[in-house]
Amino acid sequence: MVRVPEGTVELGDGRRERVGEFYITRAPISGTNFQEFIDQSDYFYPTPRIFECNFGKSDRSSRPVNCVTWEDASAFAKWAVMQLPTEGELRRAIEVASEGGGISIAPAEEWVADAYSAREKVLLRLDGDKVQRNRDIPSNGRYREDYTFRLVLRAPKI
């Protein structure tokens, strides 16, 4: 995990948010990590049957798990005793990554913790140093090949 110092970020709706210090996984969760979760929990995850999905393919197990819903990502985070990052945290991590902070940012869409307000799921589309909110989520949610996630540990508030 990589330490991300506190800072202020601009959210997708133009608001600015102060983000406290936290730790984030260097890269999205791998297929190997997700397989451990499936093997050690009672969580049901139907293996996608489309080529682009990495889960269940031994030659892609080190790649980020993809084709996951917000519910899948949230269940994994709970099992790992961590959290999904908020939009502000992920944007702050991207800032740190652009400054050479040791965080891998690749083009993908990542679920964030504050994605489930008002029945709206929000993915952040990452593409280099550009971040956009994506609300164009198909009803099945699962079978888009670029949906992935990472985890954070937050510093305790005193």
pLDDT digits (tens, 9 = 90+) for 130-142: 566 555 555 444 4
The amino acid that residue 113 corresponds to is: A
Q: Which domain holds residue 112?
A: 2-154
| Band of pLDDT at residue 111, cut at 50, 70 and 90 | confident
CATH code at 83? 3.90.1580.10
Number of domain units in the chain: 1
Comparing 99 with 7, the larger pLDDT belongs to 7
Longest CA pairwise span in the chain (Å):
47
The residues, ordered by sequence, that sit 6+ positions from 119 with a Cβ below 8 Å of its Cβ are: none
Q: What is the pLDDT of residues 40-67, one digit of tens each?
A: 998 988 776 667 787 778 888 888 888 8
Q: Is 119 helix (H, G, I), strand (E, B) or coil?
A: helix
Q: Residue 91 pLDDT more than 50?
A: yes
